Chains A and B, each alone.
Chain A
Amino acid sequence: MSIVDKGKEAVQGIAQAVVKKAVELAPGALLPGGRPDPLIRRQHGHIGKPVSRVDGPLKVRGAAPFAAEVALDGMVYAALAYSTIARGRIAAIDTALAEAAPGVVLVMTHRNAPRLNPPPRFLTGDKAAAGDDSPIMQDDRVRWNGQPVALVLADSQEQADHARSLIRVTYAEEPAATSLPTADGCEVGTFMGEPLRAVVGDADAAFAAAPNKVEAVYRTPRHNHNALELHAATLVWRGDELFVHDATQAVAHTAWSLAQIFGLEEAQVHVGSPFVGGGFGGKGLWPHQILAAAAARLAGRPVRIVLSREGVYRAVGGRSPTEQRVALGADADGRLTAIIHRGVTPKTRHSPMPEPFILPTQSAYAAETIALEVQTCYLDMVANTFMRAPGEAVGTVALECAIDELAERLGMDPIELRILNEPDKDPISGRPFSSRNIVAAYRAGAERFGWDRRNPVPRSRREGEWLVGMGCATATYPYHRMPGGAARITLDAAGRARIDAAAHEMGMGTATTHTQVAADRLGLPLEAVSVRYGDSSLPGVILAGGSQQTASVGLSVMMAHQELVGELLKLAGNDSPLAGLGVDEVESADAGLRKRDEPDRFESYASILARSGRSELAVESSAPMPLETMHWSMHSYGAMFCEVRVNAVTGETRVSRFLGSFDCGRIINPKTAASQFRGGIIMGLGLALMEETQFDERNGRIMTRNLSDYHLPVHLDVPEIDVIWTDIPDPHAPMGARGIGEIGITGTGAAVANAIHNATGRRVRDFPITLDKLL
């Protein structure tokens, strides 16, 4: 890390400290108006209804345009060549054959690429989007095995791919750090500007003195992103303006960052991304969009770039491996006296963060002493980046397996042990919980799953060759709401509303849920609301990440609605039944405004606009700073239940039943939410049983580079997954809803591992749990 980077992170830390201080001084001003979102109280609106996806028909008909499907006149196709060493210099690069190949328009390398400013690395600025700030093709350096070293443009994808294969690179190789023992610069990692370290009391002493204890090391492997839609962009320069049809979960960030890289004004870059085929944290700004834009400028042609599956593994960051030591001490009753969760994970000099696996432990259990720490060491590898619940996904694996081990040691039911250690306030920050109903989630889940049928004695149930067992684990993911939320509401003459926000639809149901929320907010039928999103020209700097998009957009629409009501009252004037009423006296209902306690005093939006001679009324507003998270400890929770069958002959594991019992505040759309929960759980099953990037430590090369070698669960690996939820609104979250996008992957790995232990008596701490570990 450069001194400049360190300075930036320090500044961020200081800024957060200032905000924290301000909040402590003024705890009343946490949410607008200091009162919960009125929609929380509404019981009979569109929120909570299983509305089908508004974009479903388009997608089913293949009519939803994805980034790689946009066709531009004169477009050429890009292919990338990747380095085959982990560290060194490009000594020579022979592109003559490629340049002479049929259809080739351009071969770009560090020798002829336009000079660019460094990519703004994510978290170094409000709108920084790059997952890696290496100056790709700006010098002859190779920083990881798989770094792009050349780009070919040709008239067809096949011609580009072929020409790419003709490029010959000679390297001057330098010693590389490609395994933790050879890594240097180990230090405590940071995440969002804060050190990944927490201390409450003397945990080591408390652990040493504890009458009951468990201590173990858990290892999770490297993972790669595998969204169904490959990373892609179709882009064109028109004069000095860049138009990008992208697949991104950060349109506004990407536009600003590309402007920085190419030395442009922000307004000169337009990024659209109406449909994204899965993001999971991986669809940010990576070298391919930057290089494609550079090549398009050089060639004077529109460019389409689609990374191959191998290209995603080589050029887009993934989740780094972790080695986590968890030590738990408990008194005779099972009350935790010490939680120690420390470990190590690699990072790179050019990416924003290490895998922050201690995050879930920060607010999990009441304990007298706590010691958490993430050591990070530099490797020469592709970036570590955000992958569905960075930290929590693999951190819960270690913590929740250790809790299960402690329960066994104590002879306690693992659910009862968890409930016994349920904290009444955040164990580290001391903040109150905004809403925490994990015990209710466990009770409901246990009853529905039939937890009482579990035999606590491992290896006690067998059906033919199959050993059967049950396990559980806690899921947890924080509520986030990042600064930058904004939205515009436009009412038309017919009283219909359009919501505009620079948000993203990656398959989660964004457009659908915000149609529901806005309809309830405005008192409109669903048909009278449309949502525009996925374009950097729309309001807001909204990341579809951190499970925060719904809160960000939802609160922005709430703020805009408040302003809209004020504007409507002004327009209504003295002839309206609403004459003389203030904003606080009216509410939206039946496609208009009415007096709260006198519903007959009503005028429709259409009538107000017509009388004032307006064809439309537009109001834009921003969400306030996320002060709620400074005052409350806010998290989504889940109780995960798993039943496995492990073959006693071959060690094969089959998950036969799974239940996720969630406490995530109010569920806006049960249909799309259930898909989110199930999708996360399926990803968790992969994490538990099969996902693993093979990173050859001899040369830092990723050897699993397709979906044949890199195993994700197939349909047959996924049982019927039952999901239920408490649906208890969080009074401190917009709409009462906390995030649901990432929590499904958390806790799942441990639930599977704990079930395997119950089935077999084997405690596997090295993930994924492949059959060889159970023979």
Chain B
Amino acid sequence: MTPFTYVRATDAQTAVRLADSRHPGVRYLGGGTNLVDLMRETVERPTALVDVTGLSNEITETDGGGLLIGAAVRNTALAEHRLVRSRYPMLARAIVAGASPQIRNMATVAGNILQRTRCAYFYDQAGSRCNKREPGQGCDAIDGFNRMHAILGASPSCVATHPSDMCVALAALDATVHLNTAQGERRLPFADLHRLPGDEPDRDTVLQPGDLITAVELPALPLAARSAYRKVRDRSSYAFALVSVAAALAVENGTVTDVRLALGGVAPKPWRPLAAERALRGQPATEAVFRAAAAAELAAAEPLRDNAFKVELAQRTIVAVLGELAENGLAGGGA
């Protein structure tokens, strides 16, 4: 770990000002469950940390019937919140599908959003090439172990996946991110926050240095009261998703009237399969339609050496989750 200075911010404006004065090399510190690991591995070498866990940890109802979630809310608190569980069950289920209770107790909402890929070549600072870690260095994952890697949205420079479960639900729920920046406050659709690697895989998000996430807002979405998150992984707990599916489905008279879908474990960002959603709206809620919708999205998949199975796995999991939602209105987790 490279030596660094540490300062604790009591409010967002102070945090942004502190960060600006320590630029470059400053990072905001949430629960530290990913950043500190990366610092220990010297993948991240901040010279200064601004601790923002003192920022809002409130969850409040908005006028429109949505929720405003403070950036410093711990993952556990969010998953256990009564309104999250009743109005957005997919979000509660996604959070508890991730990490371990100890990690969820520490991790913050903003920290979860900004966590970095778990690609082993990204982490192996001493011995592997990685364009995300060192732009222009090359990528050892493309022809190496890439079972965990992306089948959608990758580029020749990077095939890493975004590891979050929570973010998959946020993508499906059309969340909005509240930011405090040196230029003032602004809002950003969650779907636009993370970016695809292209030829700049070192930039995970569109945020500029010093931009601070202060809150995440969930819109009112009655549809989401009947929603599901299913995560498929290599062991029962404490493993990153090979494929995960967040879904909410409204069916009237046998026809899909509305749908929200997002996929995890398959792309460099929480993946909103808009092609699949288009193929579902207004169509009969049948397995054939679900299958065609999944296939429409996955037609663009470009598997690597080790991860071709994800195409079939994603196909099957989407169909199963939609089928269960259509049947019960409520789908359970994987296991």
Q: Chain A interface (Cβ within 8 Å of chain B)?
A: 81-82, 84, 102, 145, 158, 161-162, 165, 465, 647, 649-652, 654, 689-690, 694, 696, 698-699, 701, 703-705, 708-709, 711, 713-717, 770-772, 775
Contact = CB atoms under 8 A, between A and B. Distances in A.
A654 B333 CA distance: 14
A189 B169 CA distance: 54
A84 B320 CA distance: 44
B316 A650 contact: yes
16 contacts: A162-B1, A649-B317, A651-B313, A652-B233, A654-B335, A690-B234, A690-B235, A701-B124, A703-B128, A716-B235, A716-B236, A717-B235, A770-B234, A771-B242, A771-B313, A772-B242
Interface string B303-327: 0000001001100110010000000
**Best-surrounded residue of B1, B3, B235 (most CB of chain A within 10 A):** B235
Contacts of B240: 708
Contacts of B238: 708, 714
Interface string B212-254: 0000000000000000000011111111101000000000000
Nearest to A694: B145
Contact of B312 (A703, A711, A715, A775): A775
- What are the nearest 9 A-B pairs in CB distance? A716-B236, A772-B309, A84-B127, A703-B120, A716-B237, A650-B232, A165-B42, A649-B320, A694-B145
A698 to B, nearest CB: 7
A654 B236 contact: yes
A711 B335 contact: no
Contacts of B317: 649-650
Given A165-B42, A714-B235, A770-B234, A703 B144 contact: yes
Contacts of A775: 309, 312-313, 316
Contact of A711 (B120, B239, B313): B239
Contacts of B320: 465, 649-650
A775 B316 CA distance: 10
Contact of A162 (B3, B236, B237, B316): B3
A652 B121 contact: no
Nearest to B308: A772
A164 B147 CA distance: 31
A44 B126 CA distance: 61
B269 to A, nearest CB: 21
A775 B314 CA distance: 11
A158 B1 CA distance: 7
Contacts of A717: 235-237
B14 interface: no
Contacts of A771: 232, 234, 242, 309, 313
Contacts of A690: 234-235
A165 to B, nearest CB: 5
A170 B3 CA distance: 25
Contacts of A650: 232, 313, 316-317, 320, 334
A703 B145 contact: yes
Q: What's the dominant secondary structure at chain B's contact region?
A: loop
Given A145-B127, A650-B316, A703-B145, A709 B120 contact: yes
Contacts of A704: 120
B62 interface: no
A650 B231 CA distance: 10
A394 B39 CA distance: 38
Given A102-B3, A145-B127, 13 more contacts: A647-B334, A651-B313, A689-B235, A701-B127, A703-B145, A709-B120, A711-B234, A713-B235, A714-B237, A716-B237, A771-B234, A772-B309, A775-B312
A742 B103 CA distance: 33
Nearest to B99: A708
A691 to B, nearest CB: 10
B236 A703 contact: no
Interface residues of B, number: 37
A772 B118 contact: no
A649 B316 contact: yes
A358 B83 CA distance: 59
**Best-surrounded residue of B236, B240, B312 (most CB of chain A within 10 A):** B236
Contacts of B235: 689-690, 711, 713-714, 716-717
B40 interface: yes
B11 to A, nearest CB: 30
Contacts of A711: 234-235, 239
A154 B242 CA distance: 41
Q: What's the dominant secondary structure at chain A's contact region?
A: loop
Given A650-B316, A771-B313, A775-B313, A701 B237 contact: no
A615 to B, nearest CB: 53
A699 B309 CA distance: 26
Interface in B122-136: 123-128
A158 B118 CA distance: 23
A652 B120 CA distance: 23
B87 to A, nearest CB: 27
Contacts of B242: 771-772
Nearest to A82: B126
B105 interface: no
Contacts of B233: 652
Given A465-B320, A690-B234, A701-B127, A161 B145 contact: no
A358 B240 CA distance: 36
Nearest to B42: A165
A714 B236 CA distance: 7
B2 interface: yes
Contacts of B237: 714-717
B209 to A, nearest CB: 23
Nearest to A716: B236
Nearest to A645: B335
B10 to A, nearest CB: 27
Contacts of B127: 82, 84, 145, 699, 701
Contacts of A703: 120-121, 124, 128, 144-145
B334 A652 contact: yes
B159 to A, nearest CB: 14
B118 A708 contact: yes
B101 to A, nearest CB: 11
A713 B235 CA distance: 7
Given A650-B232, A714-B236, A717-B235, A696 B145 contact: yes
A705 B316 CA distance: 31
Nearest to A696: B144
Interface in B14-52: 40, 42
A711 B120 CA distance: 14
A350 B147 CA distance: 32
A531 to B, nearest CB: 36
Nearest to B2: A162
Contacts of A705: 120, 123-124
A704 B232 CA distance: 20
A652 B244 CA distance: 13
A704 B239 CA distance: 13
A771 B232 CA distance: 9
A467 to B, nearest CB: 13
**Best-surrounded residue of A650, A690, A770 (most CB of chain B within 10 A):** A650
A82 B127 CA distance: 9
Contact of A652 (B42, B143, B335): B335
